[in-house]
Amino acid sequence: MMNIHRLYAFAGLVLATLSTPAGAADVVHIGILNTSGDFAVHIADAKGYFAQEGIQADLIPFDASAKMIPSLGTGDLDVGGGATAASFFNAIDRKIGVRIVADKGRTEPGYIYQSVMIRTDLIKSGRFKSFADLKGLKFAQGAAGVGPWSVLNEAAKKGGVKYSDIEKVYLAFPQQVAALQSGAIDGSIMNEPYKTIVAAQGLAVDFSPTEDFFSTYELSLLLFGEKFATERKEVAHRFMRAFLLGTRDYNDALSKGRWRTDGGADEVIRIFSSRTKTPEDLLHKITPQAADPDGKVALDSVRRDLAFFQEQGDVTNKALKVEDCIDLSFAEAAAKSLGPYTRKP
């Protein structure tokens, strides 16, 4: 019997052939960060799911998701993605046309992709024993007003520590590795592959997965520009079907929060490695993130981040709500078109 994904892909190819003039694929400009949140996009492109939907995927690398927002607003970029950030919510408040349309990656029970990493010497010396010892430590993240600060705030609450009692510095993950080595920082809310790298080098200890105190945290969200979602709505629906096919293939490569060990993960790892230049052996070692096969967004996570940004004054409009910037209709329609996802045993 033909695999259901393959069956849909064949049907999509027939429909695209009937509805799209020969050689006239719709170009969709897609912003990518080449992080784990882009697995589904790379899979959908490499395995021909976009092409089968009559789409030519133009993948455009960015070094920060915040830099995608202006281009999404103007329509120069159709699709983007990244973690929640104050800059995104402020853009919504300024009526810049962008909306959250699907999940790209998250933590959830059993998927330990993000952790509180503490410098090894602080653990060995006994300086850090519990979350209460966060007080006075120096933590790093890539910028102000980004989601991991919200996660750190929840860790501080767990230890009875004020968020303001933790010193914050701004360093990207690659620079955090060197800062841990030199003692310039004490810890980080760190994602893969960096948490595996610093642990392997003995620079930091995986003290606690963030899933232990901030359950089902949205790591990466799929964004549509308003012009793409309204003026090219039919193309946007086709894009979402291809994206969810890539997401489902990614899920097929996972088993109980880890990569499958029966060879079922090899293809998606090869695809991502070849496109991002991340070594395959490193990808095999990391803990993968979860990704909802229907694109459902963990709304409680996004709401908590927004509330945190509002409390900190990073988002000045206290009345702004997540409902003001989310549209799950594309993911819901695509999931209905594809039918229920059945996870491989």
Confidence bin at 344 (pLDDT 50/70/90): confident
Residue 195: φ, ψ to 5°: -65, -35
Looking at 19-23, 72-76, 126-130, 311-315, which range is the least confident one? 19-23
Rounded distance between C-alpha atoms, residue 115 and residue 42, angstroms: 25
Asked whether residue 135 carries a pLDDT value surpassing 70, the answer given is: yes
Domain ranges for the chain, please list them.
4-106+217-279+292-338, 114-212
pLDDT digit string, tens, across residues 294-309: 999 999 999 999 999 9
Confidence bin at 13 (pLDDT 50/70/90): very low
Asked whether residue 17 carries a pLDDT value surpassing 90, the answer given is: no
Asked whether residue 337 carries a pLDDT value surpassing 50, the answer given is: yes
Joined tokens for residue 280: 């395959």
pLDDT digit string, tens, across residues 120-132: 999 999 999 999 9
User: If you write DSSP's letter for every residue of 22-61 in order, what string do you get?
Assistant: TT-PEEEEEEE--SGGGHHHHHHHHTTHHHHTTEEEEEEE
Burial class (CB in 10 A: 0-12, 13-18, 19+), 263: exposed
Percent of the chain whose pLDDT exceeds 90: 91
Instruction: Evaluate whether 4-106+217-279+292-338 and 114-212 have a shared fold.
Output: yes
Confidence bin at 149 (pLDDT 50/70/90): very high
Asked whether residue 333 carries a pLDDT value surpassing 80, the answer given is: yes
Rounded distance between C-alpha atoms, residue 125 and residue 122, angstroms: 5
- Residue-level pLDDT at 23: 59
**Per CATH, domain 114-212 is 1.10.10.60:** no
In what side-by-side order are the strands of the sheet with 114-119? Answer: 167-170, 138-141, 187-191, 114-119, 204-209
On average, the pLDDT of the chain sits at: 93
**Kind and range of the H or E run holding 28:** strand 26-32
- Residue-level pLDDT at 41: 98
Confidence bin at 245 (pLDDT 50/70/90): very high
Joined tokens for residue 256: 């109980």
Percent of the chain whose pLDDT exceeds 70: 93
Question: DSSP 3-state assignment of 120?
Answer: helix
Helices H / strands E in the chain, number of each: 15, 12
Burial class (CB in 10 A: 0-12, 13-18, 19+), 277: exposed
- Residue-level pLDDT at 177: 97
Instruction: Report, as an integer, the average pLDDT of 307-326.
Output: 97
Asked whether residue 16 carries a pLDDT value surpassing 90, the answer given is: no
CATH class of 4-106+217-279+292-338: alpha beta
Confidence bin at 24 (pLDDT 50/70/90): confident
- Residue-level pLDDT at 218: 97
pLDDT digit string, tens, across residues 33-54: 999 999 999 999 999 999 999 9
Radius of gyration of the chain (CA): 20
pLDDT digit string, tens, across residues 51-105: 999 999 999 999 989 899 999 999 999 999 989 999 999 999 999 999 999 999 9
- Residue-level pLDDT at 343: 83
pLDDT digit string, tens, across residues 247-270: 999 999 999 999 999 999 999 999
